[in-house]
Structure 1
Amino acid sequence: MDARPGFHQSLSLLQQELLEMGNSTQNSIRAAVESLEKLDEKAATQVIKNDDLLDEYLTKIDELSLRLIALQQPMASDLRIIGTALKIAIDLERIADHAVDIAKITIRFAGEELVKPLEIIPQMAEIAIEMLQESLLSYTERDVHRAAALAEKDDRVDKLYSTVMQEIMGMMSSDYVRNRQLTHLLFVAHYLERVADHATNIGEGVIYMVTGKRKDLNI
């Protein structure tokens, strides 16, 4: 028999909200990059509008976490679970902000054509989204091995970012409009590199939650 049904019910609700926030965040990143590929201003505007929903998720998770701590007298291991959920929500909110940053660049490109088809940036996005999915699964499954495996994917994103930087720097010219667009594409690559870093942060949080030990995956 469950000695603390109220606690476990509230914890289950917290995790459900977190996964929903994670799913919405993944959708925002994917939609933002697709809007850039297609120069779809309408889709980019929708990404920006959806950011309010993600902010609401963060507020709700913050309130649920504080209520659990205040009313349910969690043990030390429970506190790590709750604290990790709150930190994950903060990372998700920052990832969602990067989706907005990318969407704003799409809108900035309105009326233009891309200087070149996007190739590496969508690859970075897919790996970063996969990392986000894996990091959230590692949390719900308490799987430290899945969390630790994020380091290898983060290295792949970092290498792609370096490739994008080299490619874009090699394309710079005396054309102001061209250089402005290339600079903003470099910003997009940087935002995606940061998304991967946030997913890695989630993995580090999971490892600490399960083991009580801190491990740096972003070396």
Structure 2
Amino acid sequence: MRTRFDRELETLNLEMIQMGSLIERSIESTVQALIEKDVELAQEVIGYDKDIDDMEREIETRCLRLLLQQQPVAADLRLISTALKMITDMERIGDNAADIGEITCRIAREDYIKELRHIPMMAEATIRMVKGSVDAFVHRDLEKAQQVIDTDDEVDDLFEEIKAELIGMIHQDADCGAQAVDFLMISKYLERIGDHAVNIAEWVVFSLTGEHKNHRIL
């Protein structure tokens, strides 16, 4: 019975890796679409959202089956509970990437009011955070989970830089206001992705230690 349970846990790990890879690709592609004004790629990212939703349901079903059909010990119970919590944040990351894609579809035919410098930096940091948080779960790596949590300050600082720059641009030229709000929303979605990655990392800490901080409500 334990061998079968361990095989199911291994399959769960693989599914979590697959879902993590898809949301990483969503973030990377949605920012690439924004930079290159690629509406077709942005629409592709929006389409990823359904695939991510489907993966969330599949993993949720597996977790519930493990809880109902097996009798997990405390450590296994924390692990499965963590996976259930993680996929909620992972699904919301997919939503945020799709939201950026929708904005790109709307503004891609316009001249951008600013060079996109900090937004790609935010995206790169959030991709590292998402990958790190999923890797921490798969490899039961407490140190890697803590690294993800610590990286959140980097994303928050970039968001504040973008916000200050955009507010300054609006003060100088009110005509750029509409697009400035769009870029502010894009950077806010990236900040939220970072927050979701922190949530995931904190659930990994819980699965390994039994302790959990109050996670962010998003």
> Separation in 2 of the partners of 1:174 and 1:103?
25
> Separation in 2 of the partners of 1:96 and 1:217?
19
* Structure 1 residues 120-144: Cα deviation after superposition (integer angstroms, max 9, x where no partner): 0000000000011111111111111
Equivalent residue number for residue 44 of structure 2: 46
Equivalent residue number for residue 159 of structure 2: 161
How many residue pairs were aligned? Answer: 214
> Separation in 2 of the partners of 1:188 and 1:42?
18
Partner of residue 24 from structure 1, selected from 22, 25, 39: 22
Equivalent residue number for residue 108 of structure 1: 106
Q: Which amino acid aligns with 1:193?
A: E
> Separation in 2 of the partners of 1:43 and 1:164?
24
Partner of residue 74 from structure 2, selected from 73, 76, 79: 76
TM-score under structure 2 length normalisation: 0.95
Q: Which amino acid aligns with 2:203?
A: G
Give me the CA root mean square deviation.
1.3
Identical amino acids, percent of aligned pairs: 39
> Separation in 1 of the partners of 2:190 and 2:101?
12
Give every structure 1 segment of 4 or more consecutive aligned residues whose post-TM-superposition deviation is greater than 6 Å: none
> Separation in 1 of the partners of 2:205 and 2:174?
49
Structure 1 SS opposite 2:149:
helix
Q: Offset at 1:174?
A: 2.4
Structure 1: state its 5+ residue gaps.
none
Structure 2 SS opposite 1:118:
coil
Q: Offset at 1:216?
A: 5.9
> Separation in 2 of the partners of 1:115 and 1:60?
42
